């Protein structure tokens, strides 16, 4: 399996599709910043998938 450089990942935007979340690694800090910039509630780990489903990211 080829390692992918962090710079090769898709940028997190409101247009990012679910496959990016499944296929690439995003740092917690990046995800927190993304949520804050897009007025998404920061949730506990077990609630994140539900949040993404509600906002059509998955």
The predicted-structure confidence for 1-16, as pLDDT tens digits, reads as follows 565 666 688 988 888 8
Look at residue 58 in the predicted model and tell me its pLDDT: 46
Q: Specify if 35 maps to a domain.
A: yes
Q: Domain for residue 1, yes or no?
A: no
* pTM across the whole model: 0.57
Give a yes or no: residue 32 inside a domain.
yes
Measured CA distances, 30 to 2, 37, 39 (Å): 23, 11, 14
Residue at 8 is within a domain: no
Give me the phi and psi of 19, to 5 degrees please: -60, -30
Tell me which residues of the chain have a pLDDT lower than 50: 57-58
Domain count, the chain: 1
Residue span of the structural domain in which 33 resides: 16-54
To 10 degrees, the CA torsion angle through 18, 15, 9, 52? -40
In a domain, 11, yes or no: no
By the 8 A CB rule, do 52 and 26 touch?
A: no
Residue 6 lies in a domain: no
């Amino acid at each position: 399996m080829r390692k992918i450089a962090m710079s090769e990942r898709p940028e997190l935007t409101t247009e990012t599709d679910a496959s990016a979340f499944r296929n690439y690694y995003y740092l917690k800090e990046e995800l927190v910043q993304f949520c804050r910039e897009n007025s998404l509630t920061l949730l506990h780990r077990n609630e994140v998938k539900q949040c993404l489903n509600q906002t059509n990211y998955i």
